[in-house]
Chains A and B, each alone.
Chain A
């Protein structure tokens, strides 16, 4: 079983729609959860971080965390063509440790 799993996609949504990206993880002791966006040929950039159960909103982005279900998601409202990228879910699995596990990423296409 992969430690951090994401649907590889591609996920295609029309401009203005809500894009929903999902991620599951295997380590119940995980403490920190991150979503990164990576454009083709570029390095990952942080979109959201979340540390406790529930929702966290930042502009058009909402991260949702459910530790009981070992599930974290990212919602992108009013999707724009510029949101087209690969979205990486990352999980820090150890209390006090530095080992961050990345998922393989979900490719998102937003059609104009």
Chain B
């Protein structure tokens, strides 16, 4: 596989469930990102990891918990989400902070 792969593509969960989103990049990049994209809103940066260290945490509620076990994998653990958390969650990677980002296909999340 090449590029950035996200699983699952779609996820429906209740507010009390716990689930995880997975992202894997096959580009040899050093940085990985989580974004939230809601309808009619700009992409919102959530977290950034560089060389497995979290370098940005954009005031995201604690019900979202990121994990970066190595430079190729990134997870977003979800717990006790709210209906307003329904959105498209995009993972991206880049070689460094000044290089463009490559996006995965996203996970469409719906909270019941």
Interface residues of chain A, those whose CB is within 8 Å of chain B, are: 4, 31-32, 34, 42-46, 49, 51, 88, 90, 92, 94, 96-105
Contact = CB atoms under 8 A, between A and B. Distances in A.
A45 B97 contact: no
Interface in B40-79: 40-43, 45, 48, 50, 55-56, 58
B104 A105 contact: no
A92 B97 contact: yes
A92 B103 contact: no
Contact of A43 (B48, B58, B106): B106
B103 A32 contact: no
Contacts of A102: 42-43
Contact of A42 (B50, B56, B99, B105): B105
Interface residues of B, number: 23
A44 B97 contact: no
Interface of B: 31, 33, 40-43, 45, 48, 50, 55-56, 58, 90, 97-106
A98 B41 contact: no
A45 B103 contact: yes
Contacts of B33: 98, 100
Minimum-distance CB pairs A-B, first 9: A102-B43, A43-B103, A98-B48, A104-B42, A32-B98, A46-B100, A98-B97, A102-B42, A49-B100
18 contacts: A31-B98, A34-B101, A43-B90, A43-B104, A43-B105, A43-B106, A46-B100, A88-B42, A92-B97, A96-B97, A97-B56, A98-B33, A98-B55, A98-B97, A99-B48, A100-B101, A102-B42, A102-B43
